[in-house]
Amino acid sequence: MSTPNASSVTPPEGGRRGLFRRRPAAGTPAAAARDRRRSKQHRRLANVAGLMAALVLTGVGYSALAPGASAADDSTGNPSNAVEAGRELYTRSCITCHGSNLQGIEGRGPSLIGVGEAAVYFQVHTGRMPLVRQEAQAPERPPIFSEEEIDQLMAYIQENGGGPTLPSGDLRAGDLAEGGELFRLNCAQCHNFAGKGGALSSGKRAPSLEEASDMVIYSAMLSGPENMPVFGDNQLTPDEKRSIINYVQTLKAQADPGGAGIGRVGPVAEGLVIWVVGVGALLFGIFWMGTKA
Amino acid sequence: MATNTVPGPRVGQPTSLAGKAAFEVDDRLIVAGPLRRTLNKVFPDHWSFLLGEIALYSFIVLLLSGTWLTFFYDASMKEVIYDGTYAPLRGIEMSAAYESTLNISFDVRGGLLIRQMHHWAALLFVASIVVHLLRIFFTGAFRRPRETNWFIGVTLLVLAMLEGFAGYTLPDDLLSGGGLRIFSAVFLSIPVIGTWVYFTVFGGDFPGEVIIGRLYILHVLIIPAILLGLIALHLLILVKQKHTQFPGAGRTEHNVVGNRLFPTFAAKATGLLFIVVGLCAALGGLVQINPIWLLGPYNPAQVTAGSQPDWYIGFVDGGARIFPPWEIVLWGYHIPPVFWGALGLPGLMFGALALYPVLERVLTKDTASHHLLQRPRDVPVRTSLGAMAVTAYVVLWISGGNDLIADKFDLSLNAMIWFGRIGFLVLPPIAYWATYRICIGLERHDREVLEHGIETGVIRRLPSGEFIEVHQPLGPVDAHGHGQLAYGGASVPKKMNQVGGARRAIRGFFKPIEEPAEVQRQAEIEARGLESEQASRELSSSGRPSEGGRPSEGGRPQDPRD
Amino acid sequence: MSTTDHSRPGSAGGADEPGQLHGGPDDDYGPEQLAAMDRTELDRLGARYDGVEVLHVEPVAPPGSPLDKRNTRQVTLWFALAALFAVAFVVVYAGSGWFLPSWAWSTGSSTWSALYTPLLGALFGLSMISIGIGLVLYVKKLLPHETAVQDKHDGSHFDRVTTGATLMGGLDSSGLPRRKLLAGTLGLLGLAFGAMLLSLLGGFIKNPNKGNPLGTTPWADGLRLLRDDGTPVRPGDQVAGSLATVFPAVPGGNKAYDGAVMLIRLRPEQLSELRIPAGREDFGYGDYVAYSKVCTHAGCPVSLYEQETSRILCPCHQSQFDVTDGAKPVFGPATRPLPQLPITVDDEGYFVARGDFPEPVGPSFWNMGRLG
């Protein structure tokens, strides 16, 4: 990046440090931020609740029956109730493939132990789960569960399986240019330089990021759904993840200065345009010139 | 050039200022004769003869916009830190070449328009060369005496592709850097001398520090100079040999029927020039091409999904994609599959293309000079061979973008590769067979119409009760009602209104621009006028103008005319 | 036309009569004759000298007729439009940032800067296309449609014979066919001269076998595996099913085309089906394996890692490699497995290389099996 690794031959102790000339991120539109904040409000509460519940419950052992365990959460809703509701949902929609103890079922669905609420958020929010039928890759669909139900499912999985949790705060609070560099190094090979997605082997695909919200991108990096590699917090720090999200969302919102973006997929679309529009129009033109008045 | 024909102070001397000036010029340069010969030059009038001009005009756009760009572009691989207008790249390390391209796009007024115009014109340049080449091929315009011009044309196509590739690489962005990396692998794959070629081209190991500068001088000086020289030669030979024409009434191997250069043809050609420039500008402004700011600077560790070259290199990339993993290893020496897919296959295709006129001459033993074109149906073998080559090319081309097609149409990428592998072998023969059948069918229909006449659509019931369709013979018939016309290589009318048997079609390109009743009246007038016109045409039915106006020809060698 | 006063300085004086300046036609048609002809006759006469006969002229609408007026209006309209678009182009081009909003690009808002280039292109294009349409309509509607025929000559036998005689005469008088020694020397000179010019290309040649640059990479024993930003990697940093691109800890390591390495932490399921090629048993570290990121087909960075199918796909030509099977190619045009980097962990707990790749990285080349 900005300087070669020369200075890093003796690595700095413990610290991750970017060598970027950091600049304040370009101001994200206030409206979008407000929107995001509002939509995340109750989710964040539920996250806190889930986290607290997990901590408390680990302390006293798996005693879901103990009524005193949830005494700490009075104002934020009853996590036991959320977990209970989540169990209900899980038993109804997920247990067939992922098993009664989240252990997964050979040939149907993977184990959910250790995937954490991040995976649940990603899979259920993008409608990939519950699966309609087994195929090469779960397709993206409108979510089946409501926000509240997803929170309950997340609480249940988090409590029983553990794993990465969802972040809080502004998910775009990262350096734009650093995000771009990280995006090109870690993401562009599958999702294309502008996040438009691309083909993988044998009918699988890296989806387009066009519809992906901040949290969906974050949870995907954290959980590595399906064939996507996992980017743990020690590999890409939360700050770096936020930088990437900032870059992706900035690119998506950014107008094309040079006219129609024709899909932002590169030379194939350009070749199509020159043959269909360019050569087509000129053939039409010379044909018109050849006719007599 | 005298603009004045009224006798003046001295007989024949001009009186107007322009006329005097013209005489003064001719006194010094003696250009009136050559100029008149040029202005009087006849060009045949057919829309497909303008395809090559499109290529010429996009080349003009390329020269002008390219020159403009050189004033802002910096062909250096020196590492700089970007601190320009485009925020998402600020603070990123990049080459000076990439930075200057960003500056052209964001900091030079109108720079993005010219950059995009240049790139679109490049795509159009190669595309129009290909369409022009197909026209030449399928109409047999490459036959003697035009083999030289065919060969120059194929060279121009190859040079245009190289020129385009060099230009594509100059911005040093992620996509073009990847393309250059693949190019380096192609150099490396050459048996025996591959590593030497590779080190020579890159001045060391990839990417080195010189390649952008070297490609730049190739792109702006060496290849354009060769292109310009060859285009001039191409046109000179064309003018010297005169244009070919389709067979038709009054058209022979020894004449050209059409419009004189001045003013008709010149005005039309200039009109086309403006339309081509305008199209490039409109595309350059309205459709974004090669958004290098989205791609990012080149970094050997980075890559983007859907890495493709511009369309004209696509078939090379497709060849590299579908070629099976066959590596020849003998005593530790390797010939990798890239060599066959990306160098062997295109080499074979362009070699066959360049040598085709010679091959056809040898195979058909036709060594005569030809100035009349052929209809593709009349040469079924050549047409079918062409269709076969085009099919093979298109399969390679599709394979060059197979990942994007797989993604957009929800197909399996591996299935697309297999489609390419099998399709490349299976589809061309099918195309050959299908084209051959179509050509034969069309030929037979032409003969049938000449023999039996045009279907009138009138059904008549004979006294015997039999129903027959009445046919309109195209000429005199023998005792059996069979036509005596021989096929002359020209289009045979297949509808009654083409022979005046029905009302002629109402004119108008987009919508009718005349009243049907008026057309009817005109037709009657024309019918009367036709007889007198035919009488006047008799005089020159040989196709040559009468020789009467050239009394001074005896003994003196003719002026070189073209 | 020509100077007749020979007494002036600079003229040769004496009987310096002009020769036949303009060729034959001037003898046939004197100035008086030409002056008696009208312009059309002169045009046709000249054309006939160029082998051109005008067969047929389809006249345009008579001047002043309604059709003529309509046609003229139409053509004028297109040229007027073209002028209008051209003026609009200048206004947008020069006016932006003056009386129009600034054209300077900024990420985020600014509609005008996103419209600037499209607007310029559209106006420029429309102006040019309008001129083109105007010109074509001019030809089609306002110029008489003329059909002319020009005859085409074969080469002249006379020219061939006389030119040949001149050339052979020159060769003969040079005496080269006789003077064998001179001719031979000239031939040798040509060869030597060509060799002299060609030898200048030697400046381009670099030896690819000096120091084995193609067989080695910056990797060496004890070099740490660094991320792009220069931080080292511990075994605990990555979770199962992850891939990170790492570079050798040398100056410029993250820019070296052959230095990029994919550090992959395998999932338990992958470990259970892992097949380690013979001789590479100790190349991995725990559940970590490290492979070169440079494709063995054409050198693109392969990195489309599918952690469920264990495949690594190259986006350039779709070669697919199986990480659980020594990164052998399983589909596509690649023929060789991705070279594996032997790794271990140093005293401080960071990943280091145990040496360079055992084989050349990247695309195959001729003598790769015979490097020293």
Question: What's the 3-state SS for C326-364?
Answer: CCEEEECCCCCCCCECCEEECCCCCEEECCCCCCCCCCC
For the record, the structure tokens of B348 come out as: 């074979």
- Mutate: best of A1, A3, A5, A228, partner C, most C CBs <10 A: A5
What percent of chain C is helix, strand and coil (3-state, nearest 5)?
Answer: 35, 15, 45
**Which chains lie within 8 Å of chain B at 3 or more CB pairs, if any?**
A, C
Q: Specify the pLDDT at position B417.
A: 93
pLDDT at A86 over 90: no
The pLDDT assigned to C257 comes to 85
Q: Which residue of B has its CA nearest to A272?
A: B311
How far, rounded to the nearest angstrom, does the alpha carbon of residue B326 sit from its chain's CA centroid? 36
The C-alpha atoms of residue B72 and residue B67 are separated, in whole angstroms, by 10
Q: From the CB of residue B172, how many other CB atoms can be counted at a distance below 10 Å? A: 26
DSSP B262: I
B47–A206 C-beta distance less than 8 A: no
Distance from CA of A217 to the nearest CA of B (A): 18
CA of A191: which chain B residue's CA is closest? B305
Instruction: Please name the residue that has the structure tokens 């932490």.
Output: C265
- All residues of chain B having their beta carbon less than 8 Å from the beta carbon of residue C256 are 300
Measured between CB atoms, which of C150, C303, C333 is closest to B42? C150
- Give the CB-side neighbour count of residue C23, counting CA atoms within 13 A: 17
Q: Which residues fall within 8 angstroms of residue A12, CB to CB, at 6 or more apart?
A: C231
Q: Is B88 in contact with A250 (Cβ distance < 8 A)? A: yes
d(CA B346, CA B340): 9
User: Does C304 contact A206 at a Cβ distance shorter than 8 Å?
Assistant: yes
Q: pLDDT tens, A259-275?
A: 888 988 889 999 999 99
SS3 of residue C287 by DSSP: coil
**Which pLDDT score, from 0 to 100, does residue A249 have?**
92
Question: Quick one: average pLDDT of C362-370?
Answer: 88
- Between CA B66 and CA B53 the distance in angstroms is 19
Q: Which residues of C touch B257 (CB under 8 A)?
A: 55, 147-149
Q: Say how many C-beta atoms besides its own lie within 10 A of residue B81's C-beta.
A: 14
Contact A180 B131 (CB under 8 A): no
Give me the residue from B11, B306, B307 closest to C300, CB to CB: B307
Are B304 and A188 a contacting pair at CB < 8 A?
A: yes
Note the pLDDT of residue B2. 44
- The pLDDT tens digits for C135-176 are 999 998 899 988 999 998 878 899 999 999 999 999 999 888
Asked if residues A286 and B272 have their Cβ atoms less than 8 Å apart, the reply is yes
DSSP conformation class of C224: B
CA-based Rg of chain A, rounded to a whole angstrom? Answer: 24
Q: Residue C370 and residue B333: Cβ atoms within 8 Å?
A: yes
Cis peptide bond upstream of B263, omega within 30:
yes
For residue A51, what pLDDT band results from cuts at 50, 70 and 90?
low
Q: Which chains sit next to A, with 3 or more Cβ pairs under 8 A?
A: B, C
The Cα–Cα gap between B551 and B553 comes to: 6
Read off the pLDDT band of A74 (50, 70, 90): very low
Report the alpha-carbon distance of residue B227 to residue C10 in Å, rounded.
46
Contacts of residue A218, defined as CB under 8 A and 6 or more positions apart, other chains included, come to A118, A166, A167, A171, A241, A242, A245
CB-based burial label for A203 (10 Å; 0-12, 13-18, 19+): middle
Q: pTM for this structure?
A: 0.86
Q: What angle do CA B470, B474, B478 make, to 5 degrees?
A: 80
pLDDT above 50: residue A18:
no
Question: 19-48 in C: which are within 8 Å (CB) of B?
Answer: 22-25, 27-28, 31-32, 34-35, 37-39, 42, 45-48
With 80 as the cut, is the pLDDT of residue A107 above it?
Answer: no
Average pLDDT over residues C201-211: 88
Q: What is the pLDDT of residue C110?
A: 66
Q: What ipTM describes this predicted complex?
A: 0.90
Residues of chain C in contact with residue B27, where contact means CB-CB under 8 angstroms, are 1
Contact A282 B54 (CB under 8 A): yes
What is the model's pLDDT at position C127? 96
Going by pLDDT thresholds of 50, 70 and 90, the confidence category of residue C307 is confident
Q: For chain C, what percent of residues have pLDDT higher than 90?
A: 47
pLDDT tens digits, residue range C48-75?
A: 988 999 988 988 888 889 999 999 999 9
Closest residue in B to A208 (Cα) is: B407
Shortest Cα–Cα distance, B455 to chain C (Å):
32
Rounded to whole angstroms, how far apart are CA atoms C251 and B503?
84
How far is the C-alpha of A93 from the C-alpha of C273, rounded, in Å?
Answer: 31
Averaged pLDDT score across all residues of chain B? 87
- Which of C54, C149, C317 would best serve as a mutation to test chain B binding (most B beta carbons within 10 A)? C317
Which residues in chain C touch residue B320, judged by CB atoms under 8 angstroms apart? 297-298, 317, 333
- Low-confidence residues of chain B, pLDDT below 50? 1-8, 535-562
Read off the pLDDT band of A138 (50, 70, 90): confident
- Cα dihedral A185, A186, A191, A196, rounded to 10, equals -60
Residue C23: is its pLDDT beyond 70?
A: no
**Alpha-carbon torsion, ordered B298, B300, B303, B308, to 10 deg:** 70
Whether the Cβ atoms of residue A116 and residue A158 lie closer than 8 Å to each other: yes
CB-based contact A8 C249, cutoff 8 Å: yes
Per DSSP, B492 falls in state P
Contact C327, C293 (CB under 8 A): no
B262 has a chain A CB within 8 A of its CB: no
Q: With contacts defined as CB-CB under 8 Å, which chain B residues touch C96?
A: 109
Q: What is the mean pLDDT of residues C93-100?
A: 90
| Helix A238-253 with A176-186: angle, nearest 10 deg | 90
C254–A1 C-beta distance less than 8 A: yes
d(CA B513, CA B505): 11
Task: Take residue C370 and report the two structure tokens written for it.
Answer: 């015979």
Helix count (H) and strand count (E) of chain B?
19, 8
